[in-house]
Chain A
Amino acid sequence: MNARIPPSSDDAKGNTRPARLRVSGVSKQYPGCLANDDVSLDVRAGEILALLGENGAGKSTLIKVIYGLVAPDSGMIEIDGKARAITSPAAARAAGIGVVFQHFSLFESLTVAENIALGLDDAARRRDLPRRIRDIGERYGLVIDPDRVVADLSVGEQQRVEIVRVLLQDPSILIFDEPTSVLTPQAILGLFETLNQLRREGRAVIFISHKLEEIRTLCDRATVLRGGRVVGTVPVAGASVNDLARMMIGQEMPALGAGSAGQGGPVQLAAHNLSLEPANPHGTALDRLEMRARGGEILGIAGIAGNGQEELLAALSGERLTRTAGAVTLAGQAVGRLGPGARRKLGLGFVPGERLGRGAVPPMSLAENGFLTAHWRVPLTWRWVISTRKRNAFADRVIDEFRVATRSQSTAAQALSGGNLQRFIVGREILSDPRALVVAYPTWGVDVAAVAAIHAALVALRDKGAAVVVMSEDLDELLSLSDCVAVLYRGQLSAPIPRDQCTRENLGLLMSGAAPLDTARTPAQGDVDAA
């Protein structure tokens, strides 16, 4: 067993215990994509192993294989030196494997204890569950009230529920799939405490991330995946951020963010006294929200998911109309009662968070996907008839100027990688020449090269005098890109904070509600509305 992957002697902590979990030679072929190509890794008791890789590198597939959700085409899983056939999640749990997924599977209308009881394999263990939830909470710093309803919990608290649920099974191997992507900076520190406690207890932990600083502070070793293959496994202590980045993306890290500051001009896109009912029972209503985005500036909107992001995006884009026309203004014109098409004609651009199925029609060609929104503002038709020539030329321009890797404009949108499709969508919106561009989660699930290109494109648009509003859950992205940042919390937006006054800490406090929100609303307005 040890002959195949010798325990590395260069381990910084001198951890020479045998592997608790060993994965060897895992391959998984999907139609058109080899997701895992002969992947091997091992993780020892009392160790946190980072699984590092860009989106699409094969991390998720590997986790699904380990957890029995996906049957590999080949490969072997050993636990404590013994080969185990893991054919289902139940088998994985029986073998001592627990996974905290990036996307939670909680019933929002049930309490914490009810949710956890539903996930337990063994009915007998449901007795005195609330006490055991509290015990685990104290031991790992995961304080959570078992009787609270999940819908009322913050995202960080919901994640605690997921972790407690997994810990109740007392697993010896824990896998965390991008756990920090949804957390505030303060909540991330709390999670790291929990992970350190797990390590001290001698459990084996796999921590999946593409954030290099987190890995540097937390992990012992890092296994790097690229294009479905293991590039290498290195001790974290000896590697710099640049070393890890080079392994992860196969080249030097490109420059991200804005670099220079924008020149604030007249207000292009604004929300004034904007109230909107939530779109679904667990959404958040917008409450007399104030927002002003100036031309020549990038306004970042920070906030934890579920604080009114969906509602604000729908109100700005025109997918939902506001009660009064003046609640949303575009270049001084009241547009609150106009639909998306009319707003686009007036110069609004919008990049939605969901690329396939919303920002682009999956089976349609890039030419048609370019036409999708551009035809409102770019002359691509002859009356009601589509000019195929102009339509194709527009798509070619987007592909050319934004370096979309594709064979031609006749390729279907669904055949593009996430990063390439996002380049195309951002490019389509920018070449529609907007006065104001709203961008939701621009780099979610996008490779680093595309992130750099998208950031540069947004900055170039800003420098041409357009207002750019970027909504993101990634604070680092907002801090590097925005000229000022406003925080969305419970349907209200803080006054914009200039970039030089923003820190991860003060934004984090606003995002979690620990610091009072200073909205741009004037007291008189609140009085009028209350009357």
Chain B
Amino acid sequence: MALIILRNIRKVYKTGNLEVAALINLTLNIEQGEFVAIIGQSGSGKTTLLDILGCLSHPTSGEYWLDGDNVHLLPDSQLTTIRNKKIGFIFQTFHLLPRKTALENVQLPMMYARASRAIQHDRASELLTMVGLKDRLYHYNNQLSGGQQQRVAIARALANRPALLLADEPTGNLDSQSGNDILTVFEQLHQQGQTIIIITHDPLIAQRAERCITLLDGKIMSDEMAHPSSATKG
């Protein structure tokens, strides 16, 4: 069974009397270990898809299965647990908490998972070491560069060993060098078997993934495997 199964997903937003369909009968499977880019222009529905994939909101209709869980039937409280245990979020604006060290930021998902303090500390420092921030454990956000902050965010996303890493324009606020470094980290994670979905409007970034899904007006326009040759171009 695929890690992610979307069946006839519809999402309709109501603004007053006006109904806007952001996603129209979207059907999609993503296997365990895939590195997928979802690409589309603004208004194509990619943010809505991110919210649904990330269990941040329910689809208006349709079915969503994540790692065997019947997400579309689960109440809010259980979605929280799924987000905590199975999904790692990476955002364009990093979303690190102010007045917290890199270590504390990475510990946060584990704190909500009620892990012991010792485990939180060990796992967080291990992850930060992995993303190359071994000597930045006790630095605050304002003492870190954008690229470093995004690495902290990646470490935080990985804290509870999620089934899915969900990145929303992860390089959008970074210069090309740092952005490239972040994508390299994603590629390494992919090689270790991590399922990754990157949502972006940038075709160049999408090329780094092994599969590229293009959205247009709430529907999948194309779904193709990237050429291995272009994957290394950057």
Decide whether A and B assemble into one complex.
no
Q: Which residues of A contact B (CB under 8 A)?
A: none
